[in-house]
Amino acid sequence: MSEYKMNTKCVQGGYQPGNGEPRQIPIIQSTTFRYETSEDMGKLFDLEASGYFYTRLQNPTNDYVAAKIAELEGGTAAMLTSSGQAANFFALFNICECGSHIVASSSIYGGTFNLISVTMAKMGIEVTFVSPDCTKEELNAAFKDNTRAVFGETIANPALTVFDIEKFAKAAHEHGVPLIVDNTFPTPINCRPIEWGADIVTHSTTKYMDGHGAAVGGAIVDSGNFDWMAHAEKFPGLCTPDDSYHGVTYAEKFGKEGAFITKCTSQLMRDFGCIQSPQNAFILNLGLESLHVRMPRHVENGQAVAEFLQGHDKVLKVNYPGLKSDPYYEVAQKYLPNGGCGVVSFELKGGKPAAEAFMKELKLAAIETHVADARTCCLNPATSTHRQMTEEQLIEAGIPAGLIRISCGLEDKEDLIADLAQALDAVK
Ligand SMILES: *Cc1c(COP(=O)(O)O)cnc(C)c1O
């Protein structure tokens, strides 16, 4: 499929049925798989043959969909996980252990921030957060001898900052470690981080890839570019024999192209079991079949809504990298020439009371913690996800009380703007 264009890969990538086989991806709703002989099964356990034995580790339905995502991102191997959180945890924990250190952008999803700064800290993995806008000097200064990975989000949720992938990839590679990029918001339709030097790409497929608010899931894609063996002292898990798999050395046996995902499947999926259900993988694939059709519409609606809000006298500020006035406009033009996503954030002049009055009047845009759905949804963090914070704490965290995040769906943009306009009229 690699010779085809993105639109074709979205529709037909990952699965090519043979003569008389189902046209649609079959849902292999089976926990286990049958073998003729113990020897046959033994080869699977020795990683001598590839095949399926238990759905906690691998399932064919998932692998068809993962193969499509690998094609879309331009990677050599991929796997699905039960959620975006699991994808980011696995991507990091596959190469980090107690005593390791991570350099991460400070502008990332709150769940990932907690994962790295609180939960992984309890495992003895340290982090240094850097601003996505840091200088090369500041970035280089964040590295330590025990740094094992660099992490960032192409477009951060919810700050909508844009990550300078090339800058971070260069610094990572100069220090002999891979760059992991969470590409959830733009999807491979609008940005392919591997083309800019990222080594590993992760996704919360819960967002645009599914796109219908139907199935929680995640994905990890390996570019196949990072030379683990050239930095073997840093990555013993990939470059020395795995005692739990009969002494296999992943980077030797599976090469640059396959080592990362094979280890992540055979160790982390085996031990943690955060697999996506085959049903969810099937639903995710339905979303992927129209991803290339939906993303431009999300961008069109996001741009129209951002422009409308920017011109409104009750709005203090709009964050959207597609606006010329946005501080990330230039970097977005480089990495996201066709636009980024449909998520816009804006601040109302009247603070929390204004936000409450506004949200109450919305008819099409539903109040939800979700984003990246076909249906428009919005959230005022100060009265919901961050309501335990005081006014001062909110300002410190860069979340003004009047800030609203709106995720523009696939409705008609004129209807969306009319809905926002009437709700803004209700704000005194
Ligand atoms: C939602 C999200 C996640 C977490 O994904 P889940 O599927 O909810 O676990 C990770 N990264 C980004 C950028 C997200 O938007």
Report the pLDDT averaged over residues 121-128. Answer: 98
CA atoms within 13 A on the CB side of 197: 19
Report the pLDDT averaged over residues 156-167. Answer: 94
CA atoms within 13 A on the CB side of 6: 15
Q: How far is the CA of 39 from the centre of ligand 1 (A)?
A: 41
Q: How far is the CA of 5 from the centre of ligand 1 (A)?
A: 27
pLDDT of 192 reads 98
The best mutation among 114, 119, 184 to test binding of ligand 1, ranked by most ligand atoms within 8 Å of the C-beta, falls on 184
Closest CA to 372 of 282, 280, 291: 291
pLDDT of 389 reads 75
Whole-model pTM: value is 0.97
Q: How far is the CA of 109 from the centre of ligand 1 (A)?
A: 7
- Between the alpha carbon of residue 118 and those of residues 115, 122, 151, 413, the distances in Å are 6, 7, 16, 40
pLDDT tier, 2 (very low <50, low <70, confident <90, very high otherwise): confident
- Omega before 158 cis (within 30°)? yes
Q: DSSP labels for 202-228?
A: EEETTTTTT-SS----EEEEE-S---G
Give the orientation angle of helix 278-288 with respect to helix 60-73, to 10 degrees.
Answer: 30
Q: How far is the CA of 65 from the centre of ligand 1 (A)?
A: 18
Residue nearest to atom 8 of ligand 1 (CA): 84
The single-letter DSSP state of residue 241 is -
Count CB neighbours of 5 within 10 A. Answer: 8
Q: Looking at ligand 1, which atom is closest to the CA of residue 185?
A: 13
Q: How far is the CA of 86 from the centre of ligand 1 (A)?
A: 9
Assigned token pair, 409: 């769906």
pLDDT of 211 reads 98
Q: How far is the CA of 204 from the centre of ligand 1 (A)?
A: 5
Residue 175 clears pLDDT 90, i.e. is over it? yes
Q: Looking at ligand 1, which atom is closest to the CA of residue 216?
A: 7
Residue nearest to atom 7 of ligand 1 (CA): 84
Contact residues for 214 (Cβ-Cβ < 8 A; gap 6+) = 283, 287
Task: Compute the CA torsion angle 58, 61, 66, 72 (nearest 10 deg).
Answer: 170
Q: List residues near ligand 1 (CB under 6 A).
A: 83-85, 109, 111-112, 153, 157, 182, 184, 204, 206-207, 216, 218
Q: DSSP labels for 11-47?
A: HHTT----TTS-SSPP----SB---S-HHHHHHHHTT
The best mutation among 85, 153, 154, 275 to test binding of ligand 1, ranked by most ligand atoms within 8 Å of the C-beta, falls on 85
C-alpha 425/C-alpha 63 separation (Å) is 50
Residue nearest to atom 6 of ligand 1 (CA): 84
pLDDT in tens, 276-306: 999 999 999 999 999 999 999 999 999 999 9
Report the pLDDT averaged over residues 48-72. Answer: 95
Residue 45 clears pLDDT 90, i.e. is over it? no
